[in-house]
Amino acid sequence: MKNKILSAVLCISMAAAMLTGCGSAAQEAAPSAEPAQEEEAPAQEEAQPEAAEEEQTTASEANEEGGYELALVTDLGTIDDKSFNQGAWEGMEKYAKENNISYKYYQPQEGTTDSYIETIGLAIEGGAKLVVCPGFLFEEPVYAVQDQYPDVHFILLDGEPHDADYNYKTNDNVMPILFQEDQAGYLAGYALVKDGYTKLGFMGGMAVPAVIRYGYGFVQGADAAAQEDGVDVEIMYNYTGAFAATPEAQAMAASWYQNGTEVVFGCGGAVGNSVMAAAEEAGAKVVGVDVDQSSESDTVITSAMKQLSVSVYDGVKAFYDGSFPGGATTVFTAANDGVGLPMESSKFEKFTQADYDALYQKLSGGEITIQNGTDDSTTADLTLAKVKVQYVE
């Protein structure tokens, strides 16, 4: 009998192990369709969130009759998440401070469409004229509220409003913002090959659209540079399936480095930290993602960035200038400085600022087209001349 109880307990514990294992994954899986999640670019400057908190209190004190004109409703994260929420908050805060406008953030009780709509309503009751909604999860809530509050304006990051059946509709009071991550990936891939690296790796988090775009751009950028230089490039390619730092990710990166890979693009939040750990061990290099990650490890050679806070700042500014670009999706690309590499902190030896500027010019001018479909994630649908991709399941 006791044995039975014991085995039951142990079974539960094993099940629990799997649940916790998946639990954290599931938490992240919930917004799996949310490119924002991949934004979980880890800690960078610790001072910023503190500053943000201080601002929060000053903002609260600034409570006047009109309430808070600018509102940000967070998704699953908080405004110090080093990710979408923080990026959006910083952009909004910057404009608000410059122009002395009251602002506040609201955190929904739970991550459901109903709860988001309720919180947006709360923000509007609190006097909000412009509501910033960071993340893919706000597609449905914004679809609903754009009709409900036609006088209020919305900025939706990384998504376009649609209903539960994926009928898309963007009213004039909504500004959806998307990024072309493939261009950032392209810049990184191109720069690495130009700098003399020929054995690369891409380790993504979950295969969500933003991650896939980064990866596809990375491969194609490497291919373009390889064709120009006439070298053969090999790329190891994998999605770890989570945005967490695990020994598995570390071991995989370590095995790639062991097998001769020189640089790995750690493209999935904390996955990058495992890659950095492996790179430190092997004395190899890493490409960071979303924000400039050079402060996290000396192994970071460059970072494929997208300008979250700039995009929100521009949106808020346009709203106050009376030129709110509602009704159509704004895509941040090289053409409007929405993506890029932080050249001042990059550790390239041959790839110069001039090379970068020339390439950036071509990207923004539309001379380079990047295949960025996200239906297939295995790179099998890419036609590559000089790059051999080894896709790892």
Partner 1 sequence: MSVIYFIFQQTMFFAIPLLIVALGGMFSERSGVVNIALEGIMTMGAFTSILFLNLTGGVMSGQGQLLIAIVIAMITGVVFSLFHAYAAINMKADQTISGTALNMFAPAFAIFVARIIQGVQQIQFSNTFRIESVPVLGSIPVIGDLLFQNTYITTYIGIAILIVSTIVLYRTRFGLRLRACGEHPQAADAAGVNVYRMQYAGVIISGALAGLGGLVFVVPTSTNFNATVSGYGFLALAVLIFGQWKPVRIMWASLFFGLTKAIASAYSGIPFLNNFGIPSYLYKMIPYIATLIVLIFTSKNSQAPRASGVPYDKGAR
Contact residues for partner 1, defined by CB under 8 A:
2-3, 5-7, 9-10, 12-14, 16-18, 20-21, 24, 42-43, 46, 48-50, 53, 80-82, 236, 238, 244-252, 254-259, 261, 270, 273-274, 276-277, 280-281, 296-297, 390, 392-393
Residue whose tokens read 């099998």: 380
CA dist 305 and 45 (Å) reads 16
Give bridge partners of residue 236 from the DSSP assignment: 201, 390
Among residues 265, 259, 285, 392, the alpha carbon closest in space to that of 348 is found at: 285
DSSP H or E stretch at residue 171: none
- State the DSSP string of 2-22: HHHHHHHHHHHHHHHHHHHHH
| DSSP secondary structure letter of residue 377 | -
Q: Where are the alpha helices (DSSP H) in the chain?
A: 2-29, 47-61, 84-99, 113-125, 139-148, 181-194, 209-229, 247-258, 271-282, 308-321, 353-364
Q: Shortest Cβ distance from residue 194 to partner 1 (Å)?
A: 25
Q: Shortest Cβ distance from residue 5 to partner 1 (Å)?
A: 7
Q: Shortest Cβ distance from residue 50 to partner 1 (Å)?
A: 5
Maximum CA extent, the chain: 76
> Do residues 149 and 130 lie in contact, with contact meaning Cβ atoms separated by under 8 Å?
no
Q: Shortest Cβ distance from residue 217 to partner 1 (Å)?
A: 22
Three-class SS of residue 175? strand
Q: Which is nearer to partner 1, 251 or 328 (CB)?
A: 251
Q: Shortest Cβ distance from residue 242 to partner 1 (Å)?
A: 9
Q: Shortest Cβ distance from residue 48 to partner 1 (Å)?
A: 8
Q: Which is nearer to partner 1, 288 or 338 (CB)?
A: 288
Cβ neighbours of residue 89 closer than 8 Å, sequence gap 6 or more? 52, 72, 79, 105
Q: Which is nearer to partner 1, 229 or 234 (CB)?
A: 234
Among residues 144, 39, 21, 152, the alpha carbon closest in space to that of 90 is found at: 39
Q: Which is nearer to partner 1, 72 or 123 (CB)?
A: 72
Q: Which is nearer to partner 1, 148 or 259 (CB)?
A: 259
Q: Shortest Cβ distance from residue 254 to partner 1 (Å)?
A: 6
Q: Which is nearer to partner 1, 298 or 376 (CB)?
A: 298
Q: Which is nearer to partner 1, 114 or 298 (CB)?
A: 298
Q: Which is nearer to partner 1, 169 or 347 (CB)?
A: 347
> Do residues 193 and 229 lie in contact, with contact meaning Cβ atoms separated by under 8 Å?
yes
How many Cβ atoms sit within 10 Å of the Cβ of residue 372?
18
Q: Shortest Cβ distance from residue 390 to partner 1 (Å)?
A: 7
